Structure 1
Amino acid sequence: MPDDFLVARNPEEGSSLPYLVRIPLGPDGIVLKARETWPRTSKVYCHRAEAWPADAQIVERVPTRVCTSRGAAIDLVLDRGRENRSQFVLARAKGRQVIFWQTPRTAKQARPNVRIPTARPRIGDGPPDPAPAPLEILVDPYERYAWRFSRQQATTRKAPLAVGDYAVELDGRVVAAVERKSLQDLSSSLLNGKLRFALGELSGLRHGAVVVEDRYSRVFTLEHVRPAAVADAIAESQARYPTVPILFCETRALAQEWTYRFLTAALHEARLEHGAAFHLDELEAAGPVPPREPTTAEVRAWALAAGLPVSDRGRLRPEVWDAYRDGHRAERPDARGP
């Protein structure tokens, strides 16, 4: 698999996408046509290219730190200080497949694309609000004093879990799990090595986490163990299993709320990945990119050159646009007015 992210000039003459980008994913990489070399001010439209040219004129070559596919998206992290994080997203527009290249600045993803049910039945006159289906959370039978999620739109069902204390499943398969710990249980399981095995099992899932019903500052008030040893064990465990976060949620109620929202979001992600309608290697040919529509200034300049009376500023009359379309219909059969 190529290690560098490449940007080159598109050798195709007359293309409105003047650049080629090569994503280092798969044995030969993925080649796309792009309008810009990087999404700086807005999302960049991309189009699938047939192949990388043998004599490509390279514009940029940057080493890649991370390049992974997740459902209908590709996450790309380049090995440079600025303009290093971006994402290629597959979507559908008007029945055709499109690709957009975006960065955190252009995406404006302040909240995850997850619908978390919060509606409650209305009290008083009038019909109640339509309630979404509650989230079903699996609870391990050996969990003592289990959370009931009575304040959340969720139901619980006891089921033996191979990993974690709370989980959600998709098509009969566990896709996310959470291990609950009190501070005392966390410290003892860290020092006797049990938590390391639990973290290893959780890391085998796409989504796993450990939730502690206390504050991190309380670690340094433990009396029957050396606090520094527990803090070191937490840091070592997190470094060894970086995909399984250890969350300190202060109270039982906050830990329960975080778990509910985490499992909801994880199930949503699992459904997206499971039901992705297409991937980059399955894209159908979308056809040539339509030509750019003329601007008002371009049409005004053409009209002046053709001897048509037009104003110096403002909107153009419909008959001017009709004359421009008629004059360019042979070279632009799909040209349209504003």
Structure 2
Amino acid sequence: MSDTRWRMKATEDARFPYMVMIERSGKILLQLLVQERWPGQKGNVFCLRVEHDEHPDAAEVECLPVVSLRRYGKRLAVVLDRAKNKRCDFLFLTKQYKTRQGSYEQIFWRTEKALKERRPRVRLSSHTKSPVHIVIDSSERYPWKFPDPAPLRRQLPSGDYALMQEGRIIAVVERKTIENLLADFGRMHAFHQQLSELETYRHAALVIEANYSDFLKPEKMNFYPPSFTARAIAEIQAFHPGLPMIFAGNRKCAQEWAYRFFFAIQAHEDDASHPAVAETLASYGAPPEHDGGTFYDIRRHIEHHLPPCFTIAHLRQAFPAVSDTALRRALHDLKRSGLITSSGRGKKSFWAKTRPE
């Protein structure tokens, strides 16, 4: 279970009746006074950032694990571990005063549902006017062509194409034709090592100048049956989950995809995040691996750690931060799946595994 928590308190303040806190391992990453418990029809809920807990004795309304915390432009996107009302973001803006010098901060809390209903003007988060500086590996015989400025040619430590910013590599693309990839299947152990190095970059991709369906056509496979190539491709993606495999179809589409990929990364790097967002993410660190959330944590605990017959008190002890509502919802879902049965009512009720260990 994630050690990052979303906590909400009732402040009894007329203007800001609630306070939202995101904390990890006891350290507060972000603390906001908000006007609603959850953004509804209003769409945007105005927030006020505070540095310390102004309501230490306020009653806690909810406490949930945070699945994901990421930046998209000026937005801090949050995903909570619950069935409904789980996706939202905080938009951080810096505005200039109209009548005097200086700037002030505006924060708006928005939900996925509100953004869908409002249907704002279509606008991508990634846009930049800065030139995209691409370097092509010197060993590329027939390289892709990119718009100005003309790419540089030099030896790259990994990959065939790289995006440079201030003298450092920030993105890498490995290019493969169908013949290249089939040849690499014959030396998979070495190929895995090559891809492992590629995967160490923050932004990397394996771009293939073919469709996935081409690897399933016997007439295009010189040495391997389609069943083998399908397994090999699946193994590559399974062993390197952080490395996207892009089946671009042909050389022209692969070239276009790589350029747009580099352009979007350049735009993201140029779009300086709000100081509060940068500070929050720096404290958050690397996101933990997500393995399904609280429901699957409860399921695994029931299957492997509880006796054949148990009560909800066992789960309360194992998951003190999870509400009774969430525990009962998980129990009823497992009952519908046929994994457990219930007996009795009220305080004498208990649950039994249908397949005890």
The normalised TM-score by structure 1 is 0.68
Deviations 1:109-165 (CA, angstroms, capped at 9, x unpaired): 85422337xxxxxxxxxxxxxxx665331000011211122xx45521102211211
Q: CA deviation at 1:191?
A: 4.8
Counterpart residue type for residue 189 of structure 1: D
Please say which structure displays the higher CA radius of gyration: 1
Q: Which residue of 1 aligns with 2:172?
A: 177
Q: Which residue of 2 aligns with 1:103?
A: 111
Q: CA deviation at 1:223?
A: 3.7
Matched, 1:28 2:27: yes
Q: Which residue of 1 aligns with 2:305?
A: none
Question: Measured at CA, do residues 161 and 104 of structure 1 come closer, stay the same or move farther in structure 2, by a change above 3 Å?
Answer: farther
Q: CA deviation at 1:238?
A: 2.1
Map of 1:60-139 to 2, 5 A cutoff? 60-68=62-70, 73-94=75-96, 95-107=103-115, 108=120, 110-115=122-127, 134-139=131-136
Q: Secondary structure at the match of 2:184?
A: helix
Counterpart residue type for residue 91 of structure 1: L
Counterpart-to-counterpart distance in 2, 1:146 and 1:163: 16
Q: CA deviation at 1:174?
A: 0.6
- Percent identity at matched positions? 31
Q: CA deviation at 1:204?
A: 2.0
Counterpart-to-counterpart distance in 1, 2:155 and 2:180: 21
Q: CA deviation at 1:168?
A: 1.1
Deviations 1:62-112 (CA, angstroms, capped at 9, x unpaired): 222223457754332112233222222322123212222233444558542
Question: Measured at CA, do residues 39 and 158 of structure 1 come closer, stay the same or move farther in structure 2, by a change above 3 Å?
Answer: farther
Is the Cα contact below 8 Å between 2:46 and 2:108 reproduced in 1? yes
Q: CA deviation at 1:48?
A: 1.4
Q: Which residue of 2 aligns with 1:127?
A: none
Counterpart-to-counterpart distance in 1, 2:56 and 2:48: 19
Counterpart-to-counterpart distance in 1, 2:64 and 2:258: 39
Q: CA deviation at 1:173?
A: 0.5
The normalised TM-score by structure 2 is 0.65
Q: Secondary structure at the match of 2:179?
A: helix
Question: Measured at CA, do residues 3 and 156 of structure 1 come closer, stay the same or move farther in structure 2, by a change above 3 Å?
Answer: closer
Q: Secondary structure at the match of 1:46?
A: strand
Matched, 1:19 2:18: yes
Q: Which residue of 1 aligns with 2:331?
A: none
Question: Measured at CA, do residues 2 and 169 of structure 1 come closer, stay the same or move farther in structure 2, by a change above 3 Å?
Answer: same
Q: Which of 169, 192, 217 is equivalent to 1:196?
A: 192
Q: Which residue of 1 aligns with 2:5?
A: 4
Question: Measured at CA, do residues 91 and 241 of structure 1 come closer, stay the same or move farther in structure 2, by a change above 3 Å?
Answer: farther
Q: Which residue of 2 aligns with 1:46?
A: 47
Counterpart-to-counterpart distance in 2, 1:82 and 1:153: 47
How many residues were matched structurally? Answer: 262
Question: Measured at CA, do residues 251 and 281 of structure 1 come closer, stay the same or move farther in structure 2, by a change above 3 Å?
Answer: closer
Is the Cα contact below 8 Å between 2:5 and 2:24 reproduced in 1? no
Counterpart residue type for residue 106 of structure 2: V
Aligned-CA RMSD value? 2.8
Matched, 1:160 2:160: no
Q: Secondary structure at the match of 2:213?
A: helix
Counterpart-to-counterpart distance in 1, 2:142 and 2:245: 21
Counterpart-to-counterpart distance in 2, 1:140 and 1:39: 49
